[in-house]
A and B are shown apart, each in its own frame.
Chain A
Amino acid sequence: MSLSKPNTLRSGPDERGRFGIFGGRFVAETLMPLVLDLDKAYAAAKADPAFQAEIDFMQRDYVGRPSPLYLAERLTEHFNGAKIYLKRDELNHTGSHKINNCLGQILLARRMGKTRIIAETGAGQHGVATATVCARFGLPCVIYMGATDIERQKPNVFRMKLLGAEVIPVTSGTGTLKDAMNEALRDWVTNVENTYYLIGTVAGPHPYPAMVRDFQSVIGSETKVQMMEREGRLPDSIVACIGGGSNAMGLFHPFLDDTSVKIYGVEAAGKGIETGEHCASLKGGTPGVLHGNRTYLLQDDDGQIKDGHSISAGLDYPGIGPEHAWLHETGRAEYVSATDKEALEAFQLCSKLEGIIPALEPAHALAFVSKIAPTLPKDHLMVMNMCGRGDKDVFSVADYLGVKL
C-alpha cells in the first residue's frame, strides 16, 4: 500500500536543507561535520517526548508562556477597520520572542554535551536571551556584537554583562550584525570541540533555519488555539516584521496550510527602498549565498554584500531566512515594507493608544497594519506579532525625535 504524499507547505526543508532552491549547507569543510552532527542530534531530540516536555515546562515556568492574544480595542477603533489582535510575545521573560529559540537550543546543546555557547546579536535581544539561558544553565557565554550596534544598544550590552556573558565588539567589516555573524562563525571554526553556536534567527546552514522555526512555532500554534477560543475561527490575516525572520516564521508556519489566512511579512524599508538605504532583502535584493544558505541578499553588481540600513538594529541584516525567500517566490506569503519614519509613528501611536511601548522591530509591522487595517471590513480578524518591547529603544527614539534625555 502506498500513501499519497500529503499536500502541505509545512514539510520543508528537504534532506539537503532546501526550501525550493533556497537554504542548503554552504559552509567551510571544518564546520561541515559539526553541522551534520547537529542535524542528527536535533532529529533525535525532536523525536524524544522528554525533550519536548522539558521545553514545555521551561516555557511555562521560566518564560511565562503562553503569551496572551490581546484584542487591541483602541487601535481597532483608531483604524476603524479590521479587528486587531496583538500576540503579546513582548511579555516573555527577556522581553522578546528570542527566548523561545534560545531555550530550545540550550537544551539541545546540553544534550549534545557542549560546554561553551557562542552567539551573534544585532539589537541585543538575542544576545540577552542567550546570556539568560546560559546563566540559567551555568554555561559560559560569548556574544559577538558589532561595534556600531554596541553603541546604539547600550542597555542591552549592560544586561548581557550582568547575566555573566562576555560581549566581544566586532570591528571587522562594517561592525554590524553580519560581521558579528562572521566572527561567531570564525570562533566556531576555531573551537569546534566544545562550542555550540546558538544562531538567533531562521538563517544559517541547515538545520538552523528549520530548527529555529520549530522552536518559534509556539507563537503560531498558541495563536491558532487562542483565536479559536476567542472568535471560534481562524484569523483572516497575520502580520509580522522581518529581519532574519524568526518571529515571523514562528507565527506563519502553523498557518501555511490554512489558505484562507493571508500572510504578511514586513521588511524594513529604512529611508525608503528607492534610496538604497534599507534592509528589505526581498523587495530590494537578489538571490545569493551567505552565512551558510542561499537566500535573497542585499548585494551589488559584483556579488559583494551591501550593508543594510534601518532605525531598528534588529532588522539590520542584509539577508532573510531561506524559507521566507521560498514563501515569497511561491506567493504563499506577501512581503511588504515600512520605512523608519512610518515605524517611528507606529511606535508612538501604540504607546499612546494601548499603553504598550513596542520595540522598533514590531513597530514596522504595526506601521503596515496602520496602512491596511482601515481598508478592511470590521469582521476581518488580523493578528500582529508584538515580538518585543521597546524599553531598549527609548533612548534611540528620543534621539530620532530630537528629545534630550
Chain B
Amino acid sequence: MTTRLDKRFAALKEEGRAAFVTFITGGDPDFDTSFEVLKGLPAAGADVIELGMPFTDPMADGPAIQASSQRALRNGATMKKTLELVRRFRDGDNETPIVLMGYYNPIYHMGVETFLTRACEAGVDGLIVVDLPPEEDDELCEPAMRAGLNFIRLATPTTDDRRLPAVLANTSGFVYYVSITGITGSASPEARNVADAVARIKRHTPLPVAVGFGIKTPAQAADIARTADGAVVGSAIVDAIAKELDSEGRAKPGAAERVLGFVRSLADGVHKARAAAAE
C-alpha cells in the first residue's frame, strides 16, 4: 500500500531534496490560531506535518513543547479537537502527509480501535507515539498497521546495531532519528555524528530517515538536510508561537502569519541545502 508519506518521500527523492518536517502542537495556543498555522504550513514549505496530541505529562519533551501542550489544554484542546484540525485541513489539502505525535495515554483512554477509526476518517497518515517501544507493539502499532496507518518509530543514539532491527521491524513511512540523547529542544546535534548515524540506519532499512531534536535555525536545518532525507523542526516553531502571545496568553493579531514567516525561513534552509552543497 502506498501512503501519502510514501508518495511524498518518493517525490522528494526524485527532486533530489530533503523533506522539511514541521511540528506544532494541536490547539496551541487555541484552536483557531492553531488551524491557521496548520493550514498555512504547506505553502510555507512544510513537506510533512507532525501534529502534537497535547498531553499533561510529556516526559520526553523539553520545556518548549511541554508549555505548548499546557497552552493548548488550558484553551480546551482534546483528542477529538486535534482530529478535527486534521479533518478541516484535509478539506483543502489532500497531499501533505500528517503524522500525529504524542503519548499513549490519551489514545488508550479513547480506546485504540475508536481512535484508529477516527484518525483514519480525519485523514491522518501516520503515528509517532513516544512511549510505545517495539516491546509493546501489540498495543497500538500492529492495530494501526492493519488500519492502514504508518507507524513511525524513533531511533536514538542508544539504539545500537543489535537493537535496530527490532526497532525497524514494524516501522513504515520513515524513520525518525533522534539526534541526541535528551529531550526535545535541548542541545543541537553535531552534523558529522548525524551523518554517521543516518548511514548506520540506512544499512538496516530502505526507509527514508528524518532527523530531529535540537534543530533551531535555518543553517542547522540545512546542515541536517545535506545528509538526511528529512529535517524535523519542532521546539523552535513552538517557541515562535509562544512569542506571539499577549500578556494574557492570547494570540496577537497576525500571529499565524508571522509564525509561518519563520517556518518559511527554515524551509528555505532545508530546500536550498543540497543546491548550495552542489555549487
Q: Could you tell me which A residues sit within 8 Å of B by CB distance? A: 16, 24-34, 172-173, 178-179, 182, 185-186, 189-192, 286-292, 294, 297, 299, 302-305
Smallest CB separation, B140 vs chain A (Å): 10
With A30-B158, A173-B66 known to touch, is A292 a contact of B131 (CB < 8 Å)? yes
**Is B14's CB within 8 Å of the partner chain A?**
no
Which stretch from B2-10, B100-108, B215-223, B229-237 is at the chain A interface? B100-108
Give chain A residues whose Cβ lies under 8 Å from the Cβ of B108: 287-289, 294, 303
Contact B106 A303 (CB under 8 A): yes
Contact A27 B131 (CB under 8 A): yes
Q: Looking at chain A's contact residues, is the secondary structure mostly helix, strand, loop, or mixed?
A: mixed
Q: Which of B184-221 contact A (CB under 8 A)?
A: 186
**Is B155's CB within 8 Å of the partner chain A?**
yes
Q: Looking at chain B's contact residues, is the secondary structure mostly helix, strand, loop, or mixed?
A: loop
Can you list 11 A-B contacts (CB < 8 A)? A26-B104, A26-B132, A26-B136, A27-B133, A29-B155, A30-B181, A32-B159, A286-B109, A287-B108, A299-B109, A303-B105
Which residue on B lies nearest to A307, using beta carbons?
B56
How far does the alpha carbon of A291 sit from the alpha carbon of B108 in the complex, in Å? 14
Smallest CB separation, B100 vs chain A (Å): 14
Give chain A residues whose Cβ lies under 8 Å from the Cβ of B159: 29, 32-33
How far does the alpha carbon of A186 sit from the alpha carbon of B186 in the complex, in Å? 11
Give chain A residues whose Cβ lies under 8 Å from the Cβ of B186: 190
Contact A178 B57 (CB under 8 A): yes
Contact A304 B135 (CB under 8 A): no
Contact A189 B183 (CB under 8 A): yes
**Is B59's CB within 8 Å of the partner chain A?**
yes
Which residue on A lies nearest to B109, using beta carbons?
A303
Which residue on A lies nearest to B103, using beta carbons?
A289
Contact B182 A190 (CB under 8 A): yes
Q: Which of B37-90 contact A (CB under 8 A)?
A: 54-60, 62-63, 66, 70, 73, 78-79
Smallest CB separation, A136 vs chain B (Å): 29
Q: Out of A182, A186, A304, name the residue touching B106 (CB < 8 Å).
A: A304
Central interface residue in B63, B153, B183, by most chain A CB within 10 Å: B183
Give chain B residues whose Cβ lies under 8 Å from the Cβ of A294: 108
Contact A304 B136 (CB under 8 A): no
Give chain B residues whose Cβ lies under 8 Å from the Cβ of A31: 158
Which residue on A lies nearest to B131, using beta carbons?
A26
Smallest CB separation, B267 vs chain A (Å): 27
Give chain B residues whose Cβ lies under 8 Å from the Cβ of A286: 109
Smallest CB separation, B163 vs chain A (Å): 6
With A172-B63, A182-B59 known to touch, is A288 a contact of B183 (CB < 8 Å)? no
Give chain B residues whose Cβ lies under 8 Å from the Cβ of A289: 103-105, 108, 131
Give chain A residues whose Cβ lies under 8 Å from the Cβ of B55: 303-304
> A32-B135, A302-B106 given. 5 additional CB < 8 A pairs?
A27-B131, A30-B60, A172-B66, A190-B182, A192-B181
Contact B57 A173 (CB under 8 A): yes
Give chain B residues whose Cβ lies under 8 Å from the Cβ of A27: 131, 133
Per-position binary interface string of chain B over residues 139-166, scored 1 when its CB falls under 8 Å from any chain A CB and 0 otherwise = 0000000000000011111111001000
Give chain B residues whose Cβ lies under 8 Å from the Cβ of A26: 104, 131-133, 136
Smallest CB separation, A206 vs chain B (Å): 9
- Closest 5 pairs (CB-CB, A-B): A303-B109, A303-B106, A190-B182, A30-B156, A28-B60
Give chain A residues whose Cβ lies under 8 Å from the Cβ of B182: 30, 186, 189-190
Give chain B residues whose Cβ lies under 8 Å from the Cβ of A16: 135
Give chain A residues whose Cβ lies under 8 Å from the Cβ of B107: 303
Contact A192 B63 (CB under 8 A): no
Give chain A residues whose Cβ lies under 8 Å from the Cβ of B59: 28, 182, 185-186, 291
Smallest CB separation, B61 vs chain A (Å): 8
Give chain A residues whose Cβ lies under 8 Å from the Cβ of B240: none
How far does the alpha carbon of A286 sit from the alpha carbon of B156 in the complex, in Å? 32
How far does the alpha carbon of A190 sit from the alpha carbon of B110 in the complex, in Å? 31
Give chain A residues whose Cβ lies under 8 Å from the Cβ of B60: 28, 30, 185-186, 189
With A34-B158, A189-B60 known to touch, is A25 a contact of B136 (CB < 8 Å)? yes
Per-position binary interface string of chain B over residues 100-131, scored 1 when its CB falls under 8 Å from any chain A CB and 0 otherwise = 00011111111000000000000000000011
**Is B266's CB within 8 Å of the partner chain A?**
no
Smallest CB separation, B235 vs chain A (Å): 14
